A = this chain, B = another copy of it.
Amino acid sequence: MIVRGAPLIGVTAAYGLAIALDMNASDAALEAAVADLAATRPTAVNLRWALDRVARVVRPLGRSARADAAFQEADAIADEDVAASRAIGRHGAALLRELASARPAGEPLRVMTHCNAGWLATVDWGTALAPIYTLQAEGAAVHVWASETRPRNQGLLTEWELRQQGIPVTLVADNACGLLIARSEVDVVLVGSDRTVANGDVCNKIGTYLKALAAREHGVPFVVALPSSTLDLSIASGDAIPIEERAATELTSVPDIRVHNPAFDVTPARFVTKLVTERGVHDAEQGALARAFPELVR
């Protein structure tokens, strides 16, 4: 958890593999490093995707060329992540601009987010927060509700990140999000994703689904921003996504308390108003992502 955020996990794994190859570039060391790194986190598919991509490049090469090639590929992944974030910012901002135009004059667009999907979770810009930064650069007024995101409190990262950017932000308990949405204090819920699958089901930080339920109940758009590195078109629906179980100590330090601590949940596609990727805005429906990213369909 020193590195967190699906895109950053992918990029860091790519560099990790390059560093491993710099120490030992044998076939056995390569496969062991891939396996070790892949086993660190089960849910965010970016990890597996980045490792596969670097491994595919270096496997055909001789030992002496592998580390350099791996660093080059990791650099490319990092650069592409920045470009994807900027493009998501541009496409997502178009959506937000439309919602902002329905607000009373002088009133900010009120965005609710969950966890942290900004530049702290990517190489730069972010996914869910990128459209907000784009909008801010245009001079539009935005206010963000950052939910605490128990048990690891990544909402405090979002609060900090947005405050550094000069964007008004209010921290709330995850539990408060239903009331806020019910009382018409939210214009859009905007989150990232750790894995989005073929039918548009979205796996993201635990608690995302509860926000989606409230958003749908009250007619508030629920938008997911994700780079294609987060797509897993090999899985038909969200039920098949492995959900990481994390330590009980994230909730309590009392040893004899029994804890269940799943780190992610799945929001079915029917709750998702729009998916935003680096290629544009998509409906969350079977086939839409495959049409937008045909090269990712195996």
Contact A176 B260 (CB under 8 A): yes
A138-179 residues with Cβ-Cβ distance < 8 A to B are 145, 148-151, 156, 159, 163, 168-179
- With a CB–CB cut-off of 8 A, which chain B residues contact A176? 206-207, 260-262, 265
Check if A149 sits within 8 Å of B172, measured CB to CB: no
The answer to whether A261 and B207 touch across the interface, beta carbons within 8 angstroms, is no
The dominant DSSP class at the A interface is mixed
Closest chain-B Cβ to A17's Cβ sits at a distance in Å of 32
Check: A243 CB closer than 8 A to any chain B CB.
Answer: yes
Interface size on A, residues (CB 8 A): 42
- Report the bound CA distance from A176 to B176 in whole Å: 15
Interface centre among A148, A168, A182, A210 (most CB of B within 10 A): A210
A257 on the B face (CB < 8 A): yes
Find the B residue at minimum CB distance from A115: B175
Number of copies of chain A assembled together: 2
Are A251 and B170 within 8 A (Cβ)?
Answer: no
Contact B210 A175 (CB under 8 A): yes
CB neighbours (8 Å) of A123 from chain B are: none
Interface centre among A206, A209, A256 (most CB of B within 10 A): A209
A213: interface (CB < 8 Å): yes
- A252 part of interface (Cβ distance < 8 Å): yes
The residue that A149 contacts in the complex, of B163, B175, B256, with Cβ under 8 A, is B175
Q: For residue A204, give the distance in angstroms from its CB to the closest CB of chain B.
A: 11
Q: For the complex, give the distance between the alpha carbons of A252 and B216 in Å.
A: 30
15 intermolecular pairs with C-beta atoms under 8 Å apart: A145-B260, A150-B173, A150-B175, A151-B173, A170-B259, A171-B257, A171-B260, A173-B206, A173-B207, A173-B261, A175-B207, A177-B210, A179-B243, A179-B262, A213-B213
Q: Which of A235-262 contact B (CB under 8 A)?
A: 243, 251-252, 256-262
Contact B182 A266 (CB under 8 A): yes
